[in-house]
Amino acid sequence: MNASVETSSETDELAAAPLRLTIDLGALAANWRDMAERSGSARTAAVVKADAYGVGIEDAGATLYAAGARDFFVAVPSEGATLRAHVPDASIFVLSGLWAGAEDIFFDNDLIPVIASTEQLAFWLEIVAARGARPCALHVDTGFNRLGVSVEEALALADPAARPTGFMPVLVLSHLACGDDPASPMNPLQCSLFRTVAEAFGDVEASLSASAGIFLGSDYHFGLTRPGIALYGGAAVNGMVNPMRPVVTAEARILQVRQAKTGMSVSYGGTHLLARDSNLAVASVGYADGYLRSLSGAGIPLRGTGIAGASGFLGGHAVPVAGRITMDMTIFDITDLPEGSVAAGDYVELFGPNMALDDVARAAGTIGYEMLTGLGLRYERRYIETED
């Protein structure tokens, strides 16, 4: 179990990296298979927008394709163009739709626009009239009020005989606003509105659920599910034990270990006062690396709310952030660890198997999605492949 095989030849660089990100493609594939199993008879897509939630769209795309995914969702066309080489015969849907000037990238890379308004549909029909018929998807708004035609507009387009020339929908989709809250009355409401649309479209495949919706049960699965965050190990449903395998481990190098005396203060603003003689480890990570300032141990408004600051994981223990996180550095209190057990050059885990992504995100008042997609450019990445 969990035999680890390094696929990177950059081991030396990694040993000296100020920041490193280890991405377990075996866990990513296992999470996709888990989502596919929970999706029952529905097919399972993979959402790889925002550089596959910070994991890297090229490696993630190839891994998910190898695992069996043949439907991919990106946010914007350029992401689809990057993905295409790694998923040769898969469908790539572009969730943000299309606009004037972006047509070429759809045609050049065989991307499918997710049409989000009647104006976009009219524009798309002009384009296909000139360049040849091509499939599209239709986004229907059932209560999110973000993208999509109204239910009435969708129903008017549903009957194949009534469809405008050149309109070749291969997928009709909607998105749940409150899927992360299984008790929300919005879920059955959106589901039943969407069912009306899906039934009217008959032969066209239908898709409602992202990661969270998959956990709501088979009523929510329709023909195709669209998991994102769960593939990357994040929690999709509030208040539920997260069953997914962690995919990303973020670590920062300790630059220095220092002693400080009772009564001294730590970091900007001097907001963290030491109540005892303390050992501090200064790590090479800051808010420029997506280790958000709102994770600070003291000196920010959020800490007045009773939510504790973040902790890292070092030498087998959770170590709290001391004082304010700075742009490039964060100070961890390691006083409770055995004297001499931490040295410059060690790595502190920011999140990963020992420090859950979503627990860290909560300390910042945010969600795992934002932590993953905001990691910044200074991480040395390595891809590993554990087996299950």
Ligand X SMILES: *Cc1c(COP(=O)(O)O)cnc(C)c1O
Smallest gap from residue 130 Cβ to ligand X (A)? 28
Kindly state whether residue 69 participates in binding ligand X, applying the rule CB under 6 A: no
Kindly state whether residue 84 participates in binding ligand X, applying the rule CB under 6 A: no
Smallest gap from residue 77 Cβ to ligand X (A)? 15
Kindly state whether residue 210 participates in binding ligand X, applying the rule CB under 6 A: yes
Nearest Cα residue to 330 out of 277, 273, 386, 290: 290
Name which position in 175, 253, 381, 382 contacts ligand X (CB under 6 A): 175
> 98 near 70, Cβ under 8 Å?
no
Smallest gap from residue 242 Cβ to ligand X (A)? 13
Kindly state whether residue 233 participates in binding ligand X, applying the rule CB under 6 A: no
The CA-based angle 45-51-54, given to 5 degrees, is 105
Give the binding range for ligand X (CB under 6 A) out of 157-165, 226-234, 296-304, 334-342.
226-234
Rounded CA gap, 288 and 63, in Å? Answer: 29
Give the binding range for ligand X (CB under 6 A) out of 18-26, 122-130, 229-237, 266-274.
229-237
Kindly state whether residue 57 participates in binding ligand X, applying the rule CB under 6 A: no
Name which position in 74, 115, 157, 229 contacts ligand X (CB under 6 A): 229
Name which position in 26, 169, 228, 246 contacts ligand X (CB under 6 A): 228
Smallest gap from residue 208 Cβ to ligand X (A)? 9
> 232 near 29, Cβ under 8 Å?
no
Kindly state whether residue 245 participates in binding ligand X, applying the rule CB under 6 A: no
Helix, strand, coil % over all residues of the chain, rounded to 5: 35, 25, 45
Name which position in 211, 267, 296, 335 contacts ligand X (CB under 6 A): 211
Give the binding range for ligand X (CB under 6 A) out of 56-64, 192-200, 206-214, 237-245.
206-214
Give the binding range for ligand X (CB under 6 A) out of 163-171, 228-236, 247-255, 320-328.
228-236
Rounded CA gap, 213 and 217, in Å? Answer: 7
> 278 near 333, Cβ under 8 Å?
yes
Name which position in 86, 221, 226, 324 contacts ligand X (CB under 6 A): 226
Name which position in 77, 227, 299, 323 contacts ligand X (CB under 6 A): 227
Q: What mask of x and - would describe binding to ligand X in positions 291 to 310, judged by CB under 6 A? A: --------------------
> 140 near 111, Cβ under 8 Å?
no
Rounded CA gap, 28 and 7, in Å? Answer: 15
Residues 6+ apart with CB under 8 A from 238: 180, 181
> 3 near 381, Cβ under 8 Å?
no
Q: Using the minimum distance from each CB to ligand X, give the nearer residue, 60 or 314.
A: 60
Pairing of strands 135-139, 112-115: parallel
Q: Using the minimum distance from each CB to ligand X, give the nearer residue, 246 or 297.
A: 246
One-letter amino acid at 192 equals S
For 334, the token pair is 């390691």
- Active-site residue among 49, 65, 232, 291? 49
> 207 near 176, Cβ under 8 Å?
no
- Measured from each CB, the residue nearest to ligand X is 228
Q: Using the minimum distance from each CB to ligand X, give the nearer residue, 56 or 299.
A: 56
Kindly state whether residue 95 participates in binding ligand X, applying the rule CB under 6 A: yes
Rounded CA gap, 314 and 349, in Å? Answer: 6
Rounded CA gap, 310 and 153, in Å? Answer: 47
Active site residue 268: yes
Q: What mask of x and - would describe binding to ligand X in positions 357 to 376, judged by CB under 6 A? A: --------------------
Pairing of strands 272-273, 265-266: antiparallel
Kindly state whether residue 249 participates in binding ligand X, applying the rule CB under 6 A: no
3-state secondary structure 283-310: ECCCHHHCCCHHHCCCCCHHHHHCCCCC
Q: Using the minimum distance from each CB to ligand X, give the nearer residue, 17 or 47.
A: 47
Catalytic center residues: 49, 268
Give residues in contact with ligand X (CB under 6 A): 47, 49, 95, 175, 210-212, 226-230, 236
